[in-house]
A and B are shown apart, each in its own frame.
Chain A
């Protein structure tokens, strides 16, 4: 759908107070029930894979219901449409029907669950100067886009996963869902090892400021090298230009704090004070720092040639390496907000996006629920005027008439690949079990 058209419609302001009035229409006409079911049923490739899945809902006034589950697509659809949850969370597939958990004799346990990732803009507050708090702009989004691309590459290259769905969380964060069979069946230990593998930064508090530090060590692990390949080309654009992170005294101090050695830090501080006035552009500060570090590294043996020999790379990683909430990834039973939910705060749809084109995705133009409803109304009006009563036109899926369209297309593309690999696997299995 052409963007110009949506932008002309994009006038409806979202008002959280009327969310309850809009949700019924959204769930009835726009929520992609069919693809949603296609996803979570995984072609019913395993028994009870859909029926034992936990759904939980947040209703009005933060009423929270857990352990919902459904046998069929229509059951799920009907319940969503009648409860109209403000938020839908997806849990694990259990060994028994979650809603029966109190009456079954055995303890309920998760048997499979997508491997999930949660990246929250909040964790970047110390390195973004463009926005604060809940607001987000295109500059902030670059952190997210980079994080998603980098993780996506790591998951594919190192772990061999293929079916990864990236979802905009509705305000400023990003969720990743890894849906490969092996990922879904990873046990807690595997998840936790994998999450820690991907978390190369460790946070240190210094003078009340939390700083993310990285230690590369003797040789650079291939995963760290790859991360640098993503980060280095963007460091100047994001950190030096967009954010001008070291552009004031506070920023320079941040740079200094990233150096894990007291004396070296003091030396550098003195050097920077001597060579530059306060408030010089980040580019200049960074160039001076890199030059200084390099000259120290080529000199006689000192802390810069040993402990700090990778400091330039370490600082770049410290600022831009994805900041994961790894507890979300570690737990097999962790609930995570479903794609195509409406974010109650912003009214925006949690739309999937194409990770390769993450940089082009614009969170500020993701439609909110009020816009969406206006869009379908406008479309309905138009088609009514044009061809009264034509059956063909009204067959068009409602979401295709709106700015949600792109998100659904990404989702369906993801599903198509997922389903074809499930089919290939099924054929494989039947070949193997064939008896002659």
Chain B
């Protein structure tokens, strides 16, 4: 046994076994203190890429529209982890801890996995602390990983975890529970009454379980939420979230110093540019004239934008929500500021006079293009953002699959030329709440294409459509990257936006994730294996 350990030690050059156990006492870490050991630059790189693969697998699972932490989701993630040879992470995610006394070899592997997990997390913090968008992508992914790991823990594991991290949560005693039992019965979602009687409940400030509050899944009284053991992960997740967020902030402060080392600088930089995701804020691929919009709207617009266009043509007006949604989309597909002004002016002035238009609406258009006010060129809305919009009378914002009643949607789809069988197919997704899948189906039907498109962004829909019809070429990726780099300039840029956009952006935490997805889709089209090693450092 001793012998075996030594040979392994020579290969991996690991620190001492006991040392590892003290440093990484649990499969699930909160990543509170940065690691201080020295590692080789090769390992630094390996660890970073390895974790990136993991995060990417998680992201892909989402884009397959699997429900987070459902059995199918887990299976898909596990298969991918296995296929990519990420057995260490698989082990951490599966949670079935090894007993050190019976299988010390396996246990040691587990410790190694913990170490890789721990160190790589901190490396990626450095790579992802540069902009708000990157941070948000990283945070979303890390939280998924954390929740996955946490969900696999047994109750003893959880207890051990809480002790290690000095998190003291005491469940309500019987009399405390009894005093709020009506509320618990009424408002604890997902558990039967008899289960609720058995379960332990914890009383925490509502700000600690915002996801449960948002969806009305727990009992709330006087600012406190009553959370059962099954939802306990919500509490810990917020702690983890804050931990990573603060970590990213401090990483941002240190980044200049770290990058003084050129090797690290190149590695981090290339990670960064390779995984930025597609940015639709500036169109780089050609100019679309307003005259062509009538044609394009029929062929290449998703129905949310086609609806906006038709609404504008018929009513010669769009309310603010619709103007934002449609105006930014137009910017993204390549309508220039001047054209955009002209287009909206021509349409609006059929109803109001030119002076009113100038006074009331022009600013808004300049603003969207980043020429007035905060001077930020705003990003077109993603599907997730649009789906969140609530329908408003006399406006056309929002995702039509969601905001339209089924019967009306059917009529609309039929009027767009879908056969009744096709309408049924699309409606099948709609009735289950899969609006993006419905949109992908619509794309497939309209373009007579063999596969459904995974739709994440109206502008991605447009581009894919143009690609399918052969109007645009696919391989502009390198240009895009270059443009991204130039545009972004420095972290200051993104920070300005932070102040008042943060809340909104948080809600649509996946905005940039979805843009990223679309690039992913594009990439995987010509790179099936998703080989990460091609990244030059």
Query: Do A and B assemble together?
Result: yes
Binding site for B on A (CB under 8 A): 62, 107-110, 125-126, 157-161, 182, 186-194, 196-197, 200, 202-207, 209-211, 217, 219-225, 257, 260, 262, 330-333
Contact (Cβ within 8 A) B216 A262: no
Query: Least Cβ distance of A368 to chain B in Å?
Result: 26
- Contact status of A210 and B222, CB under 8 A, knowing A193-B211, A204-B404: no
What 1/0 flags go to B376-419 for Cβ under 8 Å of A? 00000000000000111100000010011111100000000000
The docked-state distance in angstroms from the alpha carbon of A204 to that of B496 is 35
Binding site for A on B (CB under 8 A): 183, 185-187, 189, 206-207, 210-211, 213-216, 219-224, 359, 390-393, 400, 403-408, 495-496, 498-500, 502-504, 506-507
Contact (Cβ within 8 A) B405 A205: yes
- Contact status of A197 and B216, CB under 8 A, knowing A205-B404, A211-B405: yes
Contacts of A204 in B (CB 8 A): 391, 403-405
Contact (Cβ within 8 A) A206 B405: yes
Question: Which chain A residue has the least Cβ–Cβ distance from B400?
Answer: A205
Question: Which chain B residue has the least Cβ–Cβ distance from A257?
Answer: B405
Contact (Cβ within 8 A) A160 B393: no
Contact (Cβ within 8 A) A193 B186: no
Contact (Cβ within 8 A) A331 B500: yes
Contact (Cβ within 8 A) A222 B186: yes
Contact (Cβ within 8 A) B500 A110: yes
Contact (Cβ within 8 A) A262 B406: yes
Query: Least Cβ distance of B504 to chain A in Å?
Result: 7
- Contact status of A203 and B391, CB under 8 A, knowing A109-B499, A160-B222, A225-B186: yes
Contacts of A333 in B (CB 8 A): 499-500
Contact (Cβ within 8 A) A158 B221: yes
Contact (Cβ within 8 A) A182 B223: yes
Question: Which chain A residue has the least Cβ–Cβ distance from B404?
Answer: A205
The docked-state distance in angstroms from the alpha carbon of A260 to that of B405 is 8
- Residue pairs across A and B with Cβ atoms less than 8 A apart, 6 shown, are A107-B498, A159-B220, A189-B210, A203-B391, A206-B408, A207-B405
Contact (Cβ within 8 A) A157 B506: no
The docked-state distance in angstroms from the alpha carbon of A222 to that of B407 is 33
- Contact status of A188 and B391, CB under 8 A, knowing A107-B496, A157-B222: no
The docked-state distance in angstroms from the alpha carbon of A192 to that of B213 is 10
Contact (Cβ within 8 A) A188 B187: no
Contacts of B500 in A (CB 8 A): 110, 331-333
Question: Which chain B residue has the least Cβ–Cβ distance from A201?
Answer: B390
Contact (Cβ within 8 A) B186 A219: yes
- Contact status of A262 and B407, CB under 8 A, knowing A188-B503, A222-B186: yes
Contacts of A110 in B (CB 8 A): 499-500
Contacts of B507 in A (CB 8 A): 192, 330
The docked-state distance in angstroms from the alpha carbon of A330 to that of B207 is 14
- Contact status of A221 and B216, CB under 8 A, knowing A188-B503, A190-B210, A204-B403: yes
9 tightest Cβ-Cβ pairs between the two chains A and B:
A188-B503, A160-B223, A206-B405, A160-B222, A193-B210, A203-B391, A333-B500, A193-B214, A158-B220
Question: Which chain B residue has the least Cβ–Cβ distance from A126?
Answer: B393
Query: Least Cβ distance of A423 to chain B in Å?
Result: 21
Contacts of A126 in B (CB 8 A): 393
Contact (Cβ within 8 A) B495 A205: no
Contact (Cβ within 8 A) A194 B506: no
Contact (Cβ within 8 A) B506 A188: yes
Question: Which chain A residue has the least Cβ–Cβ distance from B223?
Answer: A160
Contact (Cβ within 8 A) A223 B220: yes
Question: Which chain B residue has the least Cβ–Cβ distance from A61?
Answer: B359
